[in-house]
Amino acid sequence: MFKFSVAAGAIAAFLWAGSAQAVTVTNRDAKEYKLTVVEGEKSQDHALKPSSVLENICSKGCIVRLNDSENDEYELEGTEVVSIEEGYLYYDGPDAPADQAPADAGKAPAPDPGKTQEAPKK
């Protein structure tokens, strides 16, 4: 019985850790966005309504496009927690990579680590 409990716990921990390694997108805007997720040759569209969350997408990295705009295209590694705010994709909370800055970061002061940071565009 003890061996079964240990095995079940190990499997649960493995599954939990695996699910944590995927992108989560939250729409913090008041309008709906079309989110296109491109993984390799596959592309999938999602309608992201205000205050909705899309979890466990592109675990191996992907390109995320907002409203079919090539100007609003972001490359994600597959581990990020991001949100849409004012039409842009931003890293969310403490899971935001500290070493990644917006493409125009050289033109502005470094962001406050306690605030959200825009995800890099492709």
DSSP string, 32-85: -EEEEEEETTEEEEEEE-TT-EEEEE-TT-EEEEETT-GGGEEEE-S--EEEEE
For the segment 78-84, the average pLDDT, to the nearest whole number, is 92
Q: Which helix (H) or strand (E) holds 4?
A: helix 2-19
- Annotate 94-108 with three-state secondary structure: HHCCCCCCCCCHHHC
Tell whether the model's pLDDT for residue 45 goes beyond 80: yes
DSSP letter for 30, please: S
pLDDT of residue 112: 44
In whole angstroms, give the CA distance from residue 14 to residue 26: 25
Domain count across the chain: 1
pLDDT greater at residue 77 or residue 4? 77
pLDDT greater at residue 100 or residue 62? 62
Let me know: does 24 contact 53? Beta carbons within 8 Å: yes
Query: Looking at the whole model, is its pTM more than 0.75?
Result: no
In whole angstroms, give the CA distance from residue 33 to residue 88: 11
Tell whether the model's pLDDT for residue 54 goes beyond 90: yes
In whole angstroms, give the CA distance from residue 52 to residue 110: 30
pLDDT of residue 13: 42
pLDDT of residue 120: 63
Quick one: pLDDT band at residue 95, thresholds 50, 70, 90?
low
Domain extent, residue 77, equals: 2-118
Tell whether the model's pLDDT for residue 60 goes beyond 80: yes
